[in-house]
């Protein structure tokens, strides 16, 4: 672990020799990079731009959290507004949606970097991401974007432990992926439905549940939470049902396998 920390710091010191950009979601991965990269940029006397994509397919709370974490690190925070659904290919949630989306987003970030004399663009992929279906990683590699956590060999658990050690405020924050992951591939993306799903997940988190996903398969809403939260769901059954009914589908289920990242990808692995 100590070797990985030193490797990460060395990479970020190298990447901030000149101005640099970081794709910054406010999640734990990019927040760890931001803290260490900002310290490196300050030492090097360069500028680090933390750039957040304000998109239609991500929960709105992400932008607010990103702004707060950027302020905590005294970082330059920029926001780029994007409507992913302007790409007709994405509208029907294809299996390579993540590739198409990342290619578009990071192409825009590279344009931003060039306009701000930033030679390096970074993002937060880690070693665990390589073990799952992550077509967006291909786009990141094709565009020459750096992934310092992956390069230094950090797993998600190691990132969380290091972030907690450094006192990063989002060290315990659950992952918050694109809302299109709540729908099966090949399903037309319904923004009104995704809005209700996002609101439902936020309401469930406010009940004390973590790692919440509401996956909708036609007329069925499948709730994924950590299995340790099953008793809490039963204790708050009426509140949970009330929240799920607002999603607007008739059949409501609790997935007995519990939360698992990428559960919509089982047919593409």
- Domain parsing of the chain, residue ranges: 2-165, 179-265
pLDDT surpassing 70 at residue 215: yes
Assign 207 a pLDDT band (cuts: 50, 70, 90). Answer: very high
pLDDT surpassing 90 at residue 133: no
Distance of CA 171 to the CA centre of its chain: 14
**The pLDDT of residue 66:** 93
Percent of the chain whose predicted confidence (pLDDT) is above 70: 99
Contact (CB, 8 A) for 99 and 136: yes
Angle, CA of 178, 179 and 181, to the nearest 5°:
80
Rounded Cα distance between 26 and 255, Å, is 28
| Mean pLDDT on 9-19 | 98
**The pLDDT of residue 161:** 96
Nearest to 198 by CA among 210, 208, 212: 212
**The pLDDT of residue 157:** 93
Assign 85 a pLDDT band (cuts: 50, 70, 90). Answer: confident
Contact (CB, 8 A) for 215 and 179: no
Q: Can 178 be counted among the known catalytic residues?
A: yes
What are the E-state strand segments in 17-129? 19-23, 48-55, 76-82, 118-122
**The pLDDT of residue 115:** 97
Asked if CATH classification 1.10.3470 holds for the domain at 179-265, the reply, yes or no, is no
Distance of CA 70 to the CA centre of its chain: 16
Contact (CB, 8 A) for 171 and 28: yes
Which residue of the set 21, 98, 101, 178 is catalytic? Answer: 178
Query: For 2-165, which CATH class?
Result: alpha beta
Least confident of 26-35, 61-70, 145-154: 61-70
pLDDT single digits (tens) 43-74: 999 999 999 999 888 877 688 899 999 999 99
φ and ψ at 214, to 5 degrees? -110, 105
């Amino acid at each position: 672990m100590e070797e990985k920390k030193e490797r990460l710091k060395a990479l970020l010191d190298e990447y901030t020799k000149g101005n640099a950009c970081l794709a910054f979601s406010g999640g734990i991965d990019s927040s760890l990079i931001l803290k260490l990269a900002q310290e490196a940029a300050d030492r090097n006397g360069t500028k680090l731009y933390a750039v957040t994509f304000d998109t239609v397919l991500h929960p709105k709370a992400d932008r607010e959290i990103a702004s707060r974490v950027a302020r905590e690190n005294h970082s330059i925070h920029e926001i780029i507004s994007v409507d992913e659904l302007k790409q007709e290919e994405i509208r029907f949630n294809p299996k390579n949606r993540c590739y198409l989306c990342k290619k578009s987003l990071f192409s825009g970030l590279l344009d931003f970097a060039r306009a701000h004399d930033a030679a390096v663009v970074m993002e937060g992929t880690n070693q665990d991401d390589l073990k799952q279906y992550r077509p967006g990683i291909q786009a990141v590699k094709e565009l020459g974007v750096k992934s310092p956590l992956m390069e230094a060999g950090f797993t998600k658990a190691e990132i969380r432990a290091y972030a907690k050690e450094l006192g990063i405020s989002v060290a315990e924050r659950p992952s918050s992926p694109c809302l299109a992951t709540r729908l099966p591939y090949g399903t037309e993306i319904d923004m009104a439905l995704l809005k209700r799903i996002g609101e439902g997940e936020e309401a469930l988190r406010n009940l004390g549940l973590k790692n919440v996903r509401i996956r909708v398969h036609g007329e069925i809403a499948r709730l994924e939470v950590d299995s340790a939260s099953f008793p809490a769901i039963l204790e708050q059954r009426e509140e949970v049902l009330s929240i799920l009914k607002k999603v607007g589908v008739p059949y409501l289920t609790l997935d007995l396998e519990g939360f698992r990242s990428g559960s919509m990808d089982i047919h593409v692995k």
